[in-house]
Amino acid sequence: MTTQTQTQPQSDVWTRLGRGLGRAFGFLLRLVFVILLAVAMGAGVYFGVPWVYNALIRPVQEHSAQLALLDARIENLRASVDGSQGTQDNRLTLLETGSDGQRERLASAEAELAELQESLKTETDARAALEAQLVGAQADNDALAEQLATLQTSVDELQPSVTTTLSDVVHLQQQIALLQVQNGLLIAQIQMVAENLGDARAQLAATASDLGHLLTTTKALDAGTRAALTNRLTTALALVEASPASALTELESIWAQLDRGINPKEASAGP
């Protein structure tokens, strides 16, 4: 009994020890399994979360951002189109208004053109009439030049003649000088009719110089008359630049008075 009693407690100790070791070994196995499971889950989280983010979440975010950017571009494009349409409408309105104004200006320009054409026709007719007068005056001038040449030829023929007196020669030279002055006045008048005022002024100045020379050399007038005509000649020269028409009239008057003095018995017809 004693032996069985001692054997039984020893077997219980070994049994409890075996059971304790089994439980400890089971606990260690479960602990190792939990640790391995935790490591596997940590590795899965460590490697899986970036993969899930890069493979799923990140593309969605990028597409969302691209969609938002595309929406913004579409809105900007729509606003730009609306603004462009408004600008085009304003430009169209301005163009229509400007077209109406241009039509009015065109009509006014056509009316002015018609008036200008009428004025041009009138001026052309007047110029044609002046040209006809100029041709007639030129013909008179040519005839006068022929007469002057004939007279000069006569003077050349008379000069060698011993029978011609000095007074006749002087008188004939004065006649030639008068004709030259008359011819110069006629040329100046022709140039004024043709509106060549520059040439007319130059011709008047030259003719006034010839007339002054004739006044100083002629003996047909007394000293007082020559002085008065010289003063008038100075006045006429002063009018050449400012009023050539007045200067021409004054020179013609001086020529006529001088002609009457040189040819008292002849009826001078004037220049």
Tens of pLDDT along 248-261?
Answer: 888 888 888 777 87
Residue 139, CA distances (Å) to 16, 126, 196, 206 in order: 169, 20, 18, 22
Using CA atoms, how far apart are residues 201 and 234, in angstroms rounded to an integer? 15
Q: What percent of the chain has pLDDT over 90?
A: 0
- 169 or 267, greater pLDDT: 169
Q: Which residue has the tokens 């041709």?
A: 135
pTM: 0.39
Task: Tell me what pLDDT residue 160 has.
Answer: 56
Using CA atoms, how far apart are residues 156 and 161, in angstroms rounded to an integer? 9
Using CA atoms, how far apart are residues 115 and 121, in angstroms rounded to an integer? 10
Whether residue 39 is predicted with pLDDT greater than 80 in this model: the reply is: yes
Over residues 17-28, the mean pLDDT reads 80
Whether residue 38 is predicted with pLDDT greater than 80 in this model: the reply is: yes
Over residues 118-126, the mean pLDDT reads 84
- The torsion angles phi and psi of 218, rounded to 5 degrees, stand at -75, 145
Task: Tell me what pLDDT residue 195 has.
Answer: 79
Whether residue 107 is predicted with pLDDT greater than 80 in this model: the reply is: yes
DSSP character at residue 54: I
Q: Which residue has the tokens 């001692």?
A: 6
Task: Tell me what pLDDT residue 34 has.
Answer: 86
Task: Tell me what pLDDT residue 223 has.
Answer: 79
Whether residue 18 is predicted with pLDDT greater than 80 in this model: the reply is: no
DSSP character at residue 128: H
Whether residue 168 is predicted with pLDDT greater than 80 in this model: the reply is: no
Structural domain boundaries in the chain:
165-262
Mean pLDDT of the chain: 77
CB 262 within 8 A of CB 218: yes
CB 210 within 8 A of CB 236: no
Confidence tier at 270 by pLDDT (50, 70, 90):
very low
CA angle 147, 152, 153 (to 5 degrees): 95
Estimate to the nearest angstrom the gap between the alpha carbon of 181 and the chain centroid: 50
Residue 20, CA distances (Å) to 6, 8, 234, 265 in order: 21, 18, 161, 185
The region, left, alpha or beta by phi > 0 then psi within -120 to 50, assigned to residue 270 is left
